[in-house]
Amino acid sequence: MEVKMAESEKTARRSVDPLTLWVLVTVLFLGVLILIPGVLAPHDPYSLEVSNRFAPPSGEHLFGTDQTGRDIFSRVIHGAKYSIGSALLIVGSASVIGTIYGALAAWYGGLADRLLVRVVDVFLAFPYLIFAMAVAASLGRGLNSTLVALVLLWWPSYARMVRGQVKSILNEYHVMAAQTLGAKKSQILRWHVIPHTYNQLLVRFTLDIGNALVALTGLSFLGLGAQPPTPEWGRLVAQSKQFVLNAWWYAVFPGVVIFVVVLNFVLLGDALRKRSTS
């Protein structure tokens, strides 16, 4: 009886709740938008039709049109690969750099470890938005400079997190046993240390996608990110601000999409965190 109750409790913990399932479906849908936007976009996102400028939402134009008659829904769909794709690239690059740097610094200790702490402290001492704006402005306007700026901004937090985890794992019995048996340092790091950081890295990675998306759209809104006619979401909102009173849909729909996408990644990260601690 007790065994059956334990099994039922374990099954209940492992079952996917409806909210998590909805988030997963939404994230998969976003993946489709990134890979094959043309399947869902009904119009060419770059096609100009001035005679149809500022058309309100309708069956033909779900999100209405902009100041040059371009279909906003199609531009939002095609903009997913620039906005979400860039956020994935930012967090992915930062997590790889931070993981390698943090793991090596914690493993070797000494000067490397002290140097890491100092470098990370310097990066984290600056307000993140001001730092990103300064780097992006110095590299010139454009999506690539914004990506570089945000990767430089994000990797130190991963390095600090992984460093702390690795230092803790190095004191565990299975790592000390591997050292006693003569395993190489690279093998211990690859097979016994790094895998134990995956759960927290995955949770942090998922949550940071939403944060990176907000930062990216913010810089694009300020004119430092993607430039016209790229349909990046932050750029769409920036272009719409002078037409808010006459064409509310121009700003509202891209803004709602940004909010929903960020919320989904936050909920996904929260669900992963709960499952990793259960």
Give the pLDDT band of residue 208 (cuts 50, 70, 90). very high
**260 to each of 27, 201, 207, 213, how far by Cα in Å?**
11, 23, 14, 12
Rounded distance, CA 119 to CA 159, Å?
10
- In this prediction, residue 256 carries a pLDDT of 96
Which superfamily is assigned to 69-277 in CATH? MetI-like (1.10.3720.10)
Which range of 10-19, 58-67, 184-193 scores highest in mean pLDDT? It is 58-67
Rounded distance, CA 207 to CA 161, Å?
14
Which has more confidence, 100 or 195? 100
pLDDT > 70: percent of the chain? 94
Which has more confidence, 188 or 151? 151
Decide: 217 and 150 in contact? Cβ < 8 Å. Answer: no
For 119-131, b/e burial (b = at least 16 CB within 10 A) is ebeebeeeeeeeb
Quote the pTM value: 0.86
The structural domains of the chain, with segments of one domain joined by +, span 69-277
Q: pLDDT by residue (tens digit) across 213-238?
A: 999 999 999 888 889 899 999 999 99
- In this prediction, residue 42 carries a pLDDT of 92
Which has more confidence, 181 or 155? 155
Token duo for residue 230 = 């790229």
